Amino acid sequence: MSRSARFRELLKTPPFVCMGAHDAVTAKLAEQAGAPAIYVSGFAASAIVAGAPDFGLLSQTEMFDHIRRICRATSLPVFADADTGYGGAMDCQRTVALWEEAGASVLHLEDQAVPKKCGHFAGKQLVPAEEMQAKLRAMLDARKDPDFFIVARTDAIAVTGVEDAIRRLEAYAAVGADGLYVDAPESTDQMREISQRLRPLGKPLLFNMARSGKSPILTLKQVHELGFDYALCPIEPMFAMHKAVKAMMERFMAEGCSTEAVAEMLTPFDEFNAFVGLPEMAERDRRYTVPAG
């Protein structure tokens, strides 16, 4: 079964979470931890690739390369952010082709105007719903794998309110979007209203668990009880990495640049090599090495 088909199978038995992975190592860690799917965030990609905030700075091909490296490191289905599709309808079609080539199984397209911003930042603007519908139609027509899953995302709550967010997703469902995603709902009451109004459309509903202060902090079970099928845990692994590495470097510098001072903060050398597959690679190397003489 392909990874895209496996993602659709997950949707038959909700709830589940797509664990954020910002590089190959965190993708392997997510799989080792038992995550059923991975999410590649544009917010995280901007930070990891460019050391910059999520203001739509990465190009289409930079994001493609980032997704491809992560997909190579895991066997899990990968859900990859596609921002606004990187342009008009033709650009959206190329985005689908590239994301499929990279190995992704799912993407979400958002209805923000350029320059787009992280969904939990202030100052967002929206394109007309009709423009978003055209982009979605273009993406749906362009996918080669019928199991590749295209999610329509709206950022309308912070701009025009929950009523417009619901109307927009109804319009996006009407042109064939596979799933629906209202970013940054502000309360459980809003979430309940969104799910009650959208569930009759028969499209899986997505919730973003990012701890930004915009949305309620909920368990996956609570998210499901409110009517959502699956969730993203998009940036928490990167934030955990930032905190841990920051603490290690500060202690290292403060303690006279001694690795002994930070030893208990480090994964042992042999354990890390086992994690990235050194024993298996060494065995393959022995298999193909020509004996001397």
Compute the distance between CA of residue 82 and CA of residue 64 in angstroms, rounded to an integer. Answer: 9
Res 80: pLDDT: 98
Tokens of 83: 């921002």
Residues listed for the chain: 293
Compute the distance between CA of residue 45 and CA of residue 70 in angstroms, rounded to an integer. Answer: 11
Catalytic residues: 39, 54, 81, 83, 108, 110, 118, 153, 186, 208
Res 57: pLDDT: 87
What percent of the chain is helix, strand and coil (3-state, nearest 5)? 50, 15, 35
Taking a C-beta distance cutoff of 8 angstroms, is the pair 40, 67 a contact?
Answer: yes
Q: SS3 of 22, please? A: coil
Compute the distance between CA of residue 230 and CA of residue 203 in angstroms, rounded to an integer. Answer: 12
Q: Could you read off the pLDDT tens digit of each residue along the chain, which spans 293 residues?
A: 999 999 999 999 999 999 999 999 999 999 999 999 999 999 999 999 999 998 888 999 999 999 999 999 999 999 999 999 999 999 999 999 999 999 999 999 999 988 775 656 666 889 999 999 999 999 999 999 999 999 999 999 999 999 999 999 999 999 999 999 999 999 999 999 999 999 999 999 999 999 987 899 999 999 999 999 999 999 999 999 999 999 999 999 999 999 999 999 999 999 999 999 999 999 999 999 988 77
- In order of their start, the domains of the chain are 3-235 (3.20.20.60), 242-288 (no CATH)
Q: SS3 of 171, please? A: helix
3-state secondary structure 76-137: CCEEEECCCCCCCHHHHHHHHHHHHHHCCCEEEEECECCCCCCCCCCCCCECCHHHHHHHHH
Taking a C-beta distance cutoff of 8 angstroms, is the pair 110, 155 a contact?
Answer: yes
